[in-house]
């Protein structure tokens, strides 16, 4: 099974994790690169972190980026799920993590599943893959 997890961003490349049969590719990509990956990997599922109402200066462009990713999945007839941050955080027991410790704890959790050194955003993409693999079966 191939699952792609995406942590969308508005002003930088999206963080992407591709999980295929417990092998991982993790990197930051712009929309065009993601399009090529979806076309070539033909994933069974794409998990996109949902955007929610918060005080965020770039919220409009972030929501537009998320919509572009949804459109990409529709274009390639690929099943996708939107995952609310509170849902995946709860799944991994990370609901009550304060911002000061978030980066370290996210990366520690990601390493349990993917033994790679990753950024906080890439860790989120990995956890989206793992979450999707467990709830979609």
The rounded distance, in Å, linking the Cα atoms of 110 and 120 is: 9
Q: What is this structure's pTM?
A: 0.91
Which CATH number fits the domain that encloses residue 111? Answer: 3.30.420.10
Q: Which domain holds residue 54?
A: 2-135
Taking each helix axis from N to C terminus, what angle separates 59-75 and 31-41, rounded to the nearest 10 degrees? 30
Q: What is the C-alpha separation between 90 and 70, in angstroms, rounded?
A: 24
Q: What is the Cα–Cα distance from 137 to 125, expressed in whole angstroms?
A: 19
Q: How far is the C-alpha of 29 from the C-alpha of 75, rounded, in Å? A: 18
Helices (H), the chain: 31-41, 59-75, 85-91, 99-113, 120-135
d(CA 106, CA 128): 11
Pairwise CA distance, residues 58 & 21, whole Å = 36
What pLDDT digit, counting tens, does each position of 95-110 carry?
Answer: 888 888 889 999 999 9
Domain count, the chain: 1
Q: Over 60: is that where the pLDDT of 57 sits?
A: no
13: DSSP letter: P
pLDDT of 137 strictly over 70: no
């Amino acid at each position: 099974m191939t699952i792609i997890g995406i942590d969308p961003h508005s002003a930088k490349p999206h963080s992407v994790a591709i999980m295929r049969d417990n092998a991982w590719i993790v990197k930051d990509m712009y929309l065009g690169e993601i399009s090529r990956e979806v076309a070539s990997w033909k994933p069974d599922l794409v998990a996109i972190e949902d955007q929610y109402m918060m005080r965020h200066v770039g919220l409009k462009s972030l929501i537009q980026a998320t919509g572009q990713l949804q459109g990409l999945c529709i274009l390639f007839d690929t099943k996708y799920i939107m995952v609310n941050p509170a849902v995946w955080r709860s799944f991994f027991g990370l609901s009550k993590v304060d911002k000061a410790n978030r980066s370290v704890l996210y990366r520690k959790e990601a390493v349990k599943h993917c033994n790679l050194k990753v950024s906080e955003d890439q860790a989120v993409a990995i956890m989206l893959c793992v979450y999707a693999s467990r709830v979609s079966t």
